[in-house]
A and B are shown apart, each in its own frame.
Chain A
């Protein structure tokens, strides 16, 4: 079993839709949960970060972590064509430690 599972998609939605991206994981020791956005042939850039369980909101983006279910989500409201990218979830056990990535979900927002 992989440490982190993520549906690779692809996911295609109309502009303005709400997008839900999800990851599950198996290691209960994970404490830090991140969402990265990666454009084609570019390095990942950090979108959201959550420590332990809970919700975090930043503009159109909301990250949720449910440690009891080992399930994390990223919601994008009022999606824009510029949101079209691959979204990677990542998690780690402690600060400065290696990240475990999901496979990434490819998202296309159609104008």
Chain B
């Protein structure tokens, strides 16, 4: 399967600060990418769909001004959590879908802890 990297893998930040998470596909290109959030013992919940060259589409209940997504290229998307609060502490995972098949490749995830 394809290789997807995420950076950082773990970050601790203070309440009120912003954190940027990078997701990069190393061996294929995608015009669409998904960002998920996963709380402990819960499943992945889709936050937003990121489209290269256009604005991201956010799921209901996800604040677009708080979770800024930039799909900079066909291999890179970033998620910035602005003015982070403790309730934003979660595991954030990106997913690159292939347009020509069922497959979706996931990054290893970023654990965010807001103190």
A residues near B (Cβ < 8 Å) are 6, 8, 32, 34, 36, 41-46, 49, 51, 88, 92, 95-99, 101-104, 106
**Shortest distance between the CB of A38 and any CB in chain B (Å):** 9
Question: Cβ of B44: which chain A residues have Cβ within 8 Å of it?
Answer: 44, 88, 99, 101
Tell me if A99 and B104 are in contact (CB < 8 A).
yes
Say yes or no for B8: interface residue by CB 8 A criterion. Answer: no
How many chain-B residues does the 8 Å CB contact rule pick out?
28
In Å, the complex CA distance between A56 and B69 comes to: 37
Say yes or no for B43: interface residue by CB 8 A criterion. Answer: yes
Give per-residue flags for B83-106: 1 if the beta carbon is below 8 A from chain A beta carbons, else 0. 000000001010101111111101
B residues near A (Cβ < 8 Å) are 1, 4, 6, 32, 34, 41-46, 49, 91, 93, 95, 97-104, 106-109, 111
The residue of chain A having its C-beta at the shortest distance from the C-beta of B36 within the complex is A101
User: With A97-B97, A98-B49 in contact, do A92 and B109 touch (Cβ < 8 Å)?
Assistant: no
User: With A43-B93, A88-B43 in contact, do A95 and B109 touch (Cβ < 8 Å)?
Assistant: no
In Å, the complex CA distance between A92 and B98 comes to: 12
In Å, the complex CA distance between A41 and B107 comes to: 11
